[in-house]
Amino acid sequence: MGIVIYVAVLLFSVIMHEFAHAYAAYLRGDDTAKFAGRLTLNPIVHIELFGSIILPVSLMLLHAPILFGWAKPVPVNYAKLRNLKTDIALVSFAGPAANIAIAIFAGIGIRIIHMFPAFEQGSGGAVASVFYVMVVVNAVLLVINLVPIPPLDGSKVVTFFLPHDVARKYLSLNPFLCTLVLIALLWSGILWNIIGPIINLLVIFFSGVSLR
């Protein structure tokens, strides 16, 4: 049951993440995702078999130090954005911003349940556990997606601070190879040693409870 809850929360979170990208792009003038049918909360159109199902389940079964996954990336046509330099960063940060919003919502839920001990000792405890999973999963998604390695969102957010030529070359790095490097770093635990303390601080900030 624990695996089911984690995977369900992860699916919900990555779908909200991608929807936020699509909606932000639409607000900034790019209707590509809308016409591709991605400006929707329908999970079917967002699920990517490996990133949404196989990888997170494998990580959990192998007791990896971190649970991670992704949905099908939303198509964005940068040429349609109103202000290329600013809007690329805004659209890219919209996904992590959705994870922040989910973590805040779940964290508030945990704190409210803590205010009612009798309810928490009953069915409220199970609800608080789900909220806690939501906080942890979204803190992980937030931090990992802001790692400045293509094709993660962080690689596009940092282009706002880079000269145009440098930003263009940076974004042209092979995303497949970069993804393999990211997975290897996650699997080995090396990346966790770096981002783990950050994630723990965020979990405490959002929920008042440290990582278990």
Q: What pLDDT digit, counting tens, does each position of 61-74 carry? A: 777 666 777 888 89
Reported as a single tens digit per residue, the pLDDT across 85-118 is 899 999 999 999 999 999 999 999 999 999 999 8
Domain range list for the chain: 2-207
Where is pLDDT greater, at 86 or 172? 86
The two structure tokens encoding residue 28: 């900034």
Of 179 and 201, the one with more pLDDT? 201
Is 90 exceeded by the pLDDT of residue 55? no
Q: What is the pLDDT of residues 108-164, one digit of tens each?
A: 999 999 999 988 898 889 999 999 999 999 999 999 899 888 878 998 898 888 887
CA distance 131 to 37: 30
Is there a catalytic annotation at residue 18?
yes
Q: What is the 3-state secondary structure (H, E, C) of 142-187?
A: HHHHCCCCCCCHHHHHHHHHCCHHHHHHHHCCCHHHHHHHHHHHHH
Selected catalytic residue, list 18, 30, 87, 153: 18
In this prediction, residues 177-192 reach a mean pLDDT of 78
Q: Is 189's pLDDT higher than 90?
A: no
